[in-house]
Amino acid sequence: MMCYNLSSYSREVLPTKLELNSSGWKRFFSVPCAIVDSWLKLADGPALKVILYMLASESEPDRQSIISATGVTEDAFDEAVSFWKSLGVISTDGEALTANPSPAAEQIRPVIASRTVYRPGDIADMLSADAGLKELFQEAESTLGRLLKHADHEALINLRDYYGFTEESIVLILGYCAGLGKTSVRYYESVAKSLYEKGASDFHSIETEFERLTEQHSFESEIKRDFGLDIKLTPRQSQYISSWKEMGFSAEMISLARERCADATNKLSFPYIDKILKSWQDKGIFTPEAAETDIKPQKQDKEHSFDLDEFDLFTLGAKKEEK
């Protein structure tokens, strides 16, 4: 094994002055000083690539040409456009983009619905005066496992200052989302807003709600496995399973109701299973032993009083085809 004496690498051997070798450059273009003076610290790599390509372009570049020339992903491109739009540096018209620095636009901080859009300069000022915000950004990066973008900065500030979540509560929300493998701004914002609408805004209530959601997700997964479903549940199906759990039925009892449904209909029907479970609830049947005493439903025939196909279509949110 080779060992290196890291102490031998001192700052004295590092270059203290850098010089550009521009002798082979044939073409130049102008870069506004504001990009370096005001926005360089806040702009990420893709944002700088996009704006530099636009400044160097002799025509109005479109979305695809910028992505191809810079090598940024489509998501990174959209984030970059959002970043520069918030500064009034660029404007968009469909897929066409035009560089258009506007001093007047920079003075405007637009408000969209309940979400404030902050300029990078505003965020820089807030960070220098607010140690709590700086710590929140650091914790967010560690929790999400990625570098924060400008959209993250805006979202985190809004969650704290508009919705009233504490820094600790926001980190808890981010941790829950990261545990699900969902670290996008859109996802953790939607989770936070859902908590807010439910009245769960303090750390304890958020923790309690996450425990409930985790338990519900585990219960749904167990039911999906028993039902042989390997696709995402529809909202209606999730509502059924949630209601069965609230009725007090175990996964074993729901499985038994599924078997009764299959015996009677030769198909998986959430409404029919719901009908069985509601009948058991009314009769006080909550154990397999008690269910054995209940009369099993007979196989359905064409004269039955309700249409199982209609029930299934209603469950899946589909429209019945015209005959």
Q: Which of 115, 181, 127 is nearest to 151 (CA)?
A: 115
CA distance 323 to 306: 18
What lies within 8 Å, CB to CB, of 113 at 6+ separation is none
What residue ranges define each of the domains in the chain, with the CATH number in brackets? 31-108 (1.10.10.10), 115-201 (no CATH), 217-316 (no CATH)
Residues 90 and 84: beta-carbon distance below 8 Å: yes
Q: What is the pLDDT of residue 156?
A: 95
Q: What is the pLDDT of residue 315?
A: 46
Would residue 317 be called left, alpha or beta, if left means φ above 0 and alpha means ψ between -120 and 50 degrees? left
Q: What is the pLDDT of residue 15?
A: 60
Q: What is the pLDDT of residue 298?
A: 58
Residues 159 and 192: beta-carbon distance below 8 Å: yes
pLDDT per 10-residue tile (average), the chain, 323 residues: 37 61 69 78 84 84 88 86 79 51 37 61 90 94 94 93 92 94 93 91 92 90 91 88 92 94 91 94 92 70 48 47 42
Q: Which of 208, 235, 205, 206 is nearest to 220 (CA)?
A: 235
Bridge-based pairing of strands 96-99 and 90-93 is antiparallel
Q: What is the pLDDT of residue 22?
A: 66
* Residue in the structure block whose two tokens are 């909550």: 286
Q: What is the pTM of this model?
A: 0.49
